[in-house]
Amino acid sequence: MRYDVVVVGCGPSGASALRRCAELGLRSLGVEKYKLPRPKPCAGILYPRVLEDFQVPREAVLSTLQGIRLIAPSGKQAFIKLDPPGAIVDRQVFDYLLVQEAVKVGAELVEEARVRKVEVRGTSYQVYVEGLGVVEAKFLVAADGVYSTIARSLNLPWRKEDLALTMQTYVRVSEEARRSVEGIFEVYYDPSKILGGWIWVAGRARDVLVGIGSSLNYLNHPLKLKQRLTSFLKHRFKEPKVLKEEAYMLPFKGPKKDSQLVKGKTIFVGDAGGFVRSDTGEGVYYAMHSGLAAAEAIYDYLAQGGSLKDLYVKKLDERGMLQLYGLTEVHEALLSVEEAEAFIDRVRKLGGA
């Protein structure tokens, strides 16, 4: 089996790359290790920019996102009303619809097929896919998330400081408590309780999602994160009933250097390339745009030659993705109570009442 492009992983970045490759007439295969639809640990927060740039199907929307509330250690708050509003989505449904769009325009897809490793053979790649055998590809799009097999296979590991550990708990609370946060995304900063960490609460249509994240640089033991989350939950909600718990890594320092975003004819997109806002943990928007940029860079490379890396960086720039480098203001608020208070004051001055 020979393809122009094999896209490894079918989350938002992979599905977007796959769709665009197929639209551009490239013979493309998406390889996904799980049976779809598959869950993805995520708060499901889509800011208005996502709805402006992409179709967000109604079936995926759990609640309208009305605003963001930021809370300082002292309890001081800044509220940012979103007008137009954003959305809180069910990632399992959202991601699956994106993959289906790719298949509709001619991309091929294999599910329950884990890529084990890749090898360079002449000018193409041999992709070793569990249950399928070896697939040949001229280009690879590494869309396999934060635990990227392709990055490991090509010897591009993360540094500890690039990552944050996150934990999320889905809870059922009283109807009154749920209504009080429905459609609101709250973010709590308090370095005195967890250095380098932050907590979020997302009020959804049927339950409430409470999460915690911390830079690996400051985390001595994952248990500390779990304890802080449990203690926060007890104080924030009366008798929360835990429905589900999950833990996952989050890229935390913005995109990798451009020399690590393209290796040979492999392009890294989404979490595998670090395309997450380091101030908010938002990744879906950047995953989708980086996936589209990768497909367009491959197309241009085939049409006009040149440097694949330069073409990808140009496409990323056109899509506003390079602003992701250097968003470090909030990191200081994670390390000092004074900085956290000052950060909330600045947001209030900018109009967050």
Ligand X SMILES: Cc1cc2nc3c(=O)[nH]c(=O)nc-3n(C[C@H](O)[C@H](O)[C@H](O)COP(=O)(O)OP(=O)(O)OC[C@H]3O[C@@H](n4cnc5c(N)ncnc54)[C@H](O)[C@@H]3O)c2cc1C
Give the interface with ligand X as residue ranges (CB under 6 A).
8-14, 31-34, 38, 40-45, 114-115, 143-145, 149, 166, 168, 211, 248, 250, 270-272, 276, 281-285, 287
Task: Quote the least distance from Cβ 342 to ligand X, whole Å.
Answer: 25
Q: Which two tokens stand for residue 293?
A: 């940029």
CA dist., res. 142 & res. 221, Å (int):
30
Question: Which residue type, as a one-letter code, is found at position 78?
Answer: A
> How far is the C-alpha of 46 from the C-alpha of 48, rounded, in Å?
7
**Could you tell me the smallest distance in angstroms from the CB atom of residue 146 to ligand X?**
6
**AA letter at 284:** V
Q: How far is the C-alpha of 278 from the C-alpha of 269, rounded, in Å?
A: 16
CB of 343 to ligand X, least distance (A): 20
DSSP designation for 122:
T
Closer CB to ligand X, 245 or 338, in the complex: 245
Amino acid residing at 113: A
Residue 28 vs 168, nearer CB to ligand X: 168
* Closer residue to ligand X (CB): 103 or 302: 103
What are the residues whose beta carbons fall under 8 Å from the beta carbon of 133, sequence distance 6 or more? 1
Min. distance of Cβ 333 from ligand X in angstroms? 18
Tell me how far, at minimum, the Cβ of 303 lies from ligand X, in Å.
26
> Which residue's CB is nearer to ligand X, number 56 or number 105?
56
- Pick 272 or 344: Cβ nearer ligand X: 272
Contact 96, 32 (CB under 8 A): no
What is the DSSP-derived secondary structure letter of residue 183? T
Start-to-end CA distance of the chain, whole Å, equals 58
Q: Pick between residue 149 and residue 266 the one whose CB is nearest to ligand X.
A: 149
Amino acid at site 277: R
**Which tokens go with 107?**
């991309």
Token pair belonging to 171: 């809870």
Question: What are residue 321's phi and psi, to 5 degrees?
Answer: -80, -20
Helix, strand, or coil here: 339? helix
As measured in angstroms, the least distance from the Cβ of 145 to ligand X is: 3
- 168 or 278: CB nearest ligand X: 168
Min. distance of Cβ 246 from ligand X in angstroms? 7
